[in-house]
């Protein structure tokens, strides 16, 4: 199987009730669970990512960055939301662990690219949080590394700090060469 699904940062701090919640995450988890199960039954490789910061990360307001303290390694906020089903054989990739690097991408300082190459992956579908930060960064880095990348439009959620942020990110990903399709459209093609 030459396809992989990247499930980005579905963690407590980014969901309803968290410190940095994305929009409408309540309607995200069930469809992601169902889609992950469908992908698994087709043999699609599964990767779940976590934002995984040290307590002194420079993206935090206290250290001069833009964000409230979030997704600190080992805390409840950094845990996957409890109703997200993470299959036992899914690969988990952590990022953002360098204190002085913004670290939105799972391709920076991780073995993700090597893992995908070892599996022979060509197609990468991306879902999760947040559209205009970690989804965008992963999509752009995957494109740079030569993958065929599809943004799964029904299974992503933005933070939308400013109205239009999500739209702009979608347009940026499209212009960079990503396909924007629904999850079922992608599944029919891979």
Catalytic residues: 9, 95, 134
Residue 51 interacts with ligand VGL (CB under 6 A)? yes
Residue 129 interacts with ligand VGL (CB under 6 A)? yes
Question: How near is the Cβ of 32 to ligand VGL at its closest, in Å?
Answer: 15
Nearer to Zn ion, 51 or 141 (CB): 51
One symbol per residue from 3 to 42: x for binding ligand VGL (CB under 6 A), - otherwise; what is it? ------x----x----------------------------
3-state SS class at 178: coil
* Closest by CA position to 128, among listed 51, 41, 71: 51
Residue 130 interacts with ligand VGL (CB under 6 A)? yes
Span 51-80, contacts to Zn ion by CB under 5 A: 51
Question: How near is the Cβ of 53 to Zn ion at its closest, in Å?
Answer: 6
* Closest by CA position to 127, among listed 151, 111, 101: 151
Question: How near is the Cβ of 25 to ligand VGL at its closest, in Å?
Answer: 12
Which H/E stretch holds residue 10? none
One symbol per residue from 27 to 56: x for binding Zn ion (CB under 5 A), - otherwise; what is it? ------------------------x-----
| Sheet strands (E) in 15-147 | 45-51, 91-95, 123-129
The two structure tokens encoding residue 168:
């702009």
Sorted by sequence, the CB contacts under 8 Å of residue 94 that are 6+ apart come out as 49, 50, 52, 73, 110
């Amino acid at each position: 199987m030459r396809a992989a699904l990247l499930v980005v940062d579905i963690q407590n701090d980014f969901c309803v009730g968290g410190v940095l919640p994305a929009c409408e995450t309540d309607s995200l988890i069930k469809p992601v669970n169902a889609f992950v199960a469908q992908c698994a039954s087709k043999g699609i490789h599964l990767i779940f990512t976590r934002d995984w910061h040290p307590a002194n990360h420079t993206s935090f307001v206290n250290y001069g960055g833009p964000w409230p303290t979030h997704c600190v390694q080992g805390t409840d906020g950094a845990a996957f939301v409890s109703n997200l089903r993470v299959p036992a054989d899914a690969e988990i990739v952590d990022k953002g662990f360098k204190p002085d690097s913004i670290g939105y991408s799972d391709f920076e300082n991780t073995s993700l690219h090597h893992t995908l190459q070892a599996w022979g992956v060509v197609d990468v579908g991306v879902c999760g949080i947040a559209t205009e930060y970690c989804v965008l960064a992963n999509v752009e880095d995957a494109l740079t590394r030569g993958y065929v990348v599809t943004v799964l439009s029904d299974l992503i959620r933005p933070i939308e700090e400013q109205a239009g942020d999500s739209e702009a990110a979608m347009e940026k990903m499209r212009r960079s060469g990503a396909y924007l399709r629904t999850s079922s459209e992608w599944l029919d093609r891979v």
